[in-house]
Amino acid sequence: MEFLRSENTNFSREWALNIRGKLFTISTPQVMGIVNCTPDSFYASSRKSSIDSQKSLIDLHVENGATWLDIGGYSTRPGAEHISETDEIERIKQAVSYALEKYSTVKISVDTFQSEVANYVLEQGVHLINDISGGLINEELFSIIASHEVPYVLMHMRGTPQNMTQLNSYENMLQEILIELGIQVEKARKAGIKDIIIDPGFGFAKNSEQNLELFSRLEAFQLFDSPILIGISRKSLISKTLGIDSFDSLNGTTVLNTLALEKGANILRVHDVKEAVETVKLWSKIKGIPSPE
């Protein structure tokens, strides 16, 4: 298939996202800082259950140069326990309120696949919904997001966090992932979502070897003509490949984030904002692309 052999790896165009009628332009790679309001996310150091620790992390991310914050209250590590929409809202509501009130120039994303959670945070003024399920778990999300006129991160996954590790059998992985994403993109657009950001879904219904293979073909996701978000920060494709744990995976994360930029990534979703921002600045300088200040 010819489209699978794209060689366009330059950050060569601007993207304009419509956020409630206002345009946000991505003219240089963005860094999205992760704020996990959970007790059980896979990277233990990222778990921030108290509001004081959440506020401190938000402040640190912004101080270090994050242009986006991604706040989540539902752990999506393999086998994570399911929680109700009420519990998820309770976990994130203070962090969302704090970020929106204190940092008017930073775009706030919420990482959720539950429709009541999405509706609640969008009513508070959140700018983006990041859905790990790409609408497969709850298609009500599509109409909710469309009604609020915000962008949507559509990620590839099969199943749920509870069973996705059993759903990683592929005959032609890249082709199947692109087709499955394409089906959900079409549904989202028919529901009225104007701006879609594509996430290949590293670690979701994919084992470590599959993740590495997928990363090597990252250019193929440019066929969707949408910004590409990459979330490989401290994930098992790094730790298992190197025989280390997530605590020692920062160097590997930086290497892969650099390669992701080379392969066309537009947004880096990370635990370690300072290092990612430095990566973007150095890469942009080498490429002759204006970098964020």
Q: Which two tokens stand for residue 3?
A: 């489209």
Residues marked active site are found at 235, 269
Residues 6+ apart with CB under 8 A from 123: none
Strand 128-131 to strand 107-111: parallel, antiparallel, or no bridges (unpaired)?
parallel
**Per-residue 3-state assignment (H helix, E strand, C coil) for 263-279:** CCCCEEEECCHHHHHHH
Q: What Cα–Cα distance (Å) separates residue 38 from each residue in 138, 151, 183, 202, 242?
A: 21, 24, 31, 20, 27
CA distance linking residue 95 with residue 145, whole number of Å: 21
CA distance linking residue 102 with residue 59, whole number of Å: 9
The sign of the dihedral angle between the CA atoms of 118, 230, 204, 270 is negative
In this structure, are residues 249 and 234 in contact, taking their beta carbons and an 8 Å threshold?
A: yes
Phi (first) and psi of residue 86, to 5 degrees: -60, -45
CA distance linking residue 255 with residue 249, whole number of Å: 10
